[in-house]
Structure 1
Amino acid sequence: MIDLLIRDGTVVDGTGRAPYAADVAVENGKIVEVGQLPEAHARRVISARGKLVTPGFIDIHRHADLAAYRPGFGQPELRQGLTTIVNGNCGLSAAPIRRSRRAEIAAYLQPICGQMPASVSTDSLAAYFENQPDSPLHTGMLVGAGVLRAGAAGYALERLEEKHYKAIHKAMEQALGDGALGVSLGLGYAPECFYTTEELMRALSPLAGQSIPVTVHMRQEGGGVLEALEEMLTVARKLRIPVHISHLKAMGRDNWGVKIPRALSMLEQARQEGLEVGCDAYPYTAGSTQLIHILPPDLLTGGMEAVVKRLQDKGVRRELAARIEDGCGFDDIAKLAGWDGIRLTSLHCPEDHPYQGKSIAEIAALWGQNPLDCCCDLLVREHCEITMVDFMASEEDIVTILQSPLSNVISDATYPTEGLLHPRVYGTFVHILEHFVRERGVLTVEQAIHKMTQKPAEVLHLPGKGVLAAGMDADINVFAPEKLHQPGTYENPCCLAEGMDYVLVDGAVAVEKGKCTGVKAGRILRR
Structure 2
Amino acid sequence: MYDILIKNGTLVDGTGSAPVGGDLAITDGRIVEVGGTIDGAAKRTIDADGAIVTPGWVDVHTHYDGQVSWDSEMAPSSHNGVTTVVMGNCGVGFAPVSPGSEKELIELMEGVEDIPGAALHEGMDWGSWETFPDYLDYMAGREYALDVGAQIAHGAVRYYAMGERGRVNEDATADDVAAMGRIVAEAIEAGAVGFSTSRTIGHRALWGEPVPGTFAADEELLAIAAEMAKVGKGVFEMIPAGTVGKLDALGGEKTTQQLEHDLMRRFSLASGRPVTFTLVQSPDYDPSLWREILDMTAEANAAGAQMYPQVSSRPIGFLTGLSAYHAFMRKPTYIEKLAGRPLAERVAAMRAPEMKEQLLAEPDVKPEAPGSMENVYGLFNRAAAVMYPLSNPVDLEPTMADTLGAQAAAQGREPLEYLYDFMLEDGGTRFASLSTVDVPDRMNVLREMLLDDNTVTGLSDAGAHVTLICDGTMPTTQLTYWTRDRAGEQLPLEFIVNKQSARNAALYGFDDRGTLEVGKRADVNVIDHANLTVDAPVAHHDLPAGGTRLMQPVSGYVATLCNGVVTRENDADTGARPGRLVRS
The normalised TM-score by structure 1 is 0.79
1:496 aligned residue (545, 550, 553): 553
- How far off is 1:241 after superposition? 3.2
- How far off is 1:20 after superposition? 0.9
**Residue 189 of structure 2: aligned partner:** 177
**Residue 145 of structure 2: aligned partner:** 136
The one-letter code sitting in structure 1 at the alignment partner of 2:490 is V
SS across alignment from 1:244: strand
- How far off is 1:213 after superposition? 1.5
Check conservation: 1:423, 1:488, Cα contact below 8 A. Answer: no
The one-letter code sitting in structure 2 at the alignment partner of 1:94 is F
- How far off is 1:254 after superposition? 4.9
Check conservation: 1:148, 1:171, Cα contact below 8 A. Answer: yes
2:474 aligned residue (428, 432, 437): 428
Could you list the structure 1 runs, at least 4 aligned residues long, displaced by more than 4 angstroms after superposition: 342-347, 352-356, 363-367, 387-390, 489-493
Check conservation: 2:23, 2:34, Cα contact below 8 A. Answer: yes
Check conservation: 1:76, 1:496, Cα contact below 8 A. Answer: no
- How far off is 1:236 after superposition? 2.3
SS across alignment from 2:551: coil
The one-letter code sitting in structure 2 at the alignment partner of 1:208 is A
- How far off is 1:208 after superposition? 3.3
Aligned residue runs from structure 1 range 233-252, under 5 A = 233-245=265-277, 247-252=278-283
The one-letter code sitting in structure 1 at the alignment partner of 2:229 is A
- How far off is 1:463 after superposition? 2.5
2:525 aligned residue (466, 477, 502): 477
SS across alignment from 1:95: coil
2:133 aligned residue (109, 126, 130): 126
Instruction: Please give the per-residue CA displacement for 1:204-228, whole angstroms capped at 9, x wherever unaligned.
Output: 3312363432111112213643332
Check conservation: 1:140, 1:526, Cα contact below 8 A. Answer: yes
Single out whichever of 82-91 and 220-229 deviates more from structure 2. 220-229
Q: What is the rounded CA distance, in whole Å, between the counterparts of 1:176 and 1:401 in structure 2?
A: 30
Aligned residue runs from structure 1 range 5-404, under 5 A = 5-71=5-71, 73-111=73-111, 112=113, 113-114=115-116, 115-116=120-121, 117-120=123-126, 121-132=128-139, 133-153=142-162, 154=164, 155-188=167-200, 189=203, 190-208=211-229, 210-221=232-243, 222=245, 224-245=256-277, 247-252=278-283, 254-256=285-287, 258-286=288-316, 351=335, 354=339, 367-368=362-363, 377-378=366-367, 381-382=368-369, 384-386=371-373, 391=435, 394-404=442-452
- How far off is 1:3 after superposition? 0.8
Q: What is the rounded CA distance, in whole Å, between the counterparts of 1:464 and 1:283 in structure 2?
A: 25
Q: What is the rounded CA distance, in whole Å, between the counterparts of 2:449 and 2:69 in structure 1?
A: 33
Check conservation: 2:70, 2:124, Cα contact below 8 A. Answer: no
Q: What is the rounded CA distance, in whole Å, between the counterparts of 1:65 and 1:345 in structure 2?
A: 31
Check conservation: 2:62, 2:464, Cα contact below 8 A. Answer: no
- How far off is 1:279 after superposition? 1.8
Check conservation: 1:345, 1:420, Cα contact below 8 A. Answer: no
Q: What is the rounded CA distance, in whole Å, between the counterparts of 2:329 and 2:481 in structure 1?
A: 28
- CA pair 282-489 structure 1, distance change in 2 beyond 3 A: farther
The one-letter code sitting in structure 1 at the alignment partner of 2:286 is N
- How far off is 1:100 after superposition? 4.1
- How far off is 1:523 after superposition? 1.3
Instruction: Please give the per-residue CA displacement for 1:80-100, whole angstroms capped at 9, x wherever unaligned.
Output: 101111110111122222224
SS across alignment from 1:226: helix
The one-letter code sitting in structure 1 at the alignment partner of 2:170 is E
Check conservation: 2:85, 2:147, Cα contact below 8 A. Answer: yes
Q: What is the rounded CA distance, in whole Å, between the counterparts of 1:234 and 1:366 in structure 2?
A: 54
Single out whichever of 500-509 and 188-197 deviates more from structure 2. 188-197
The one-letter code sitting in structure 2 at the alignment partner of 1:250 is Q
Check conservation: 2:66, 2:124, Cα contact below 8 A. Answer: no
Check conservation: 2:538, 2:553, Cα contact below 8 A. Answer: no
- CA pair 273-288 structure 1, distance change in 2 beyond 3 A: farther
- CA pair 171-93 structure 1, distance change in 2 beyond 3 A: same
Check conservation: 1:423, 1:490, Cα contact below 8 A. Answer: no
- CA pair 354-447 structure 1, distance change in 2 beyond 3 A: farther
Instruction: Please give the per-residue CA displacement for 1:34-71, whole angstroms capped at 9, x wherever unaligned.
Output: 12234222111111111100000110110011112224
Q: What is the rounded CA distance, in whole Å, between the counterparts of 2:559 and 2:90 in structure 1?
A: 32
Check conservation: 1:186, 1:193, Cα contact below 8 A. Answer: yes
- CA pair 510-490 structure 1, distance change in 2 beyond 3 A: closer
2:454 aligned residue (406, 421, 429): 406
- CA pair 471-523 structure 1, distance change in 2 beyond 3 A: same
**Residue 320 of structure 1: aligned partner:** none
- CA pair 172-364 structure 1, distance change in 2 beyond 3 A: farther
Q: What is the rounded CA distance, in whole Å, between the counterparts of 2:274 and 2:283 in structure 1?
A: 29
Instruction: Please give the per-residue CA displacement for 1:90-147, whole angstroms capped at 9, x wherever unaligned.
Output: 1112222222432212221124244243514341233323333321111110111222
Q: What is the rounded CA distance, in whole Å, between the counterparts of 1:449 and 1:67 in structure 2?
A: 27
- CA pair 134-19 structure 1, distance change in 2 beyond 3 A: same
- CA pair 366-107 structure 1, distance change in 2 beyond 3 A: farther
- CA pair 38-241 structure 1, distance change in 2 beyond 3 A: closer
- How far off is 1:32 after superposition? 0.5
The normalised TM-score by structure 2 is 0.72
Check conservation: 1:421, 1:494, Cα contact below 8 A. Answer: no
Give the paired residue count.
Answer: 456
- Structure 1 stretches lacking a partner, 5+ long: 290-341, 357-362
- CA pair 137-414 structure 1, distance change in 2 beyond 3 A: closer
Matched, 1:522 2:568: no
- How far off is 1:152 after superposition? 1.7
- How far off is 1:414 after superposition? 4.9
The one-letter code sitting in structure 1 at the alignment partner of 2:84 is T
Q: Once superposed, what is the RMSD of the aligned Cα atoms?
A: 3.1
- How far off is 1:239 after superposition? 4.2
SS across alignment from 1:208: helix
Check conservation: 1:475, 1:506, Cα contact below 8 A. Answer: yes
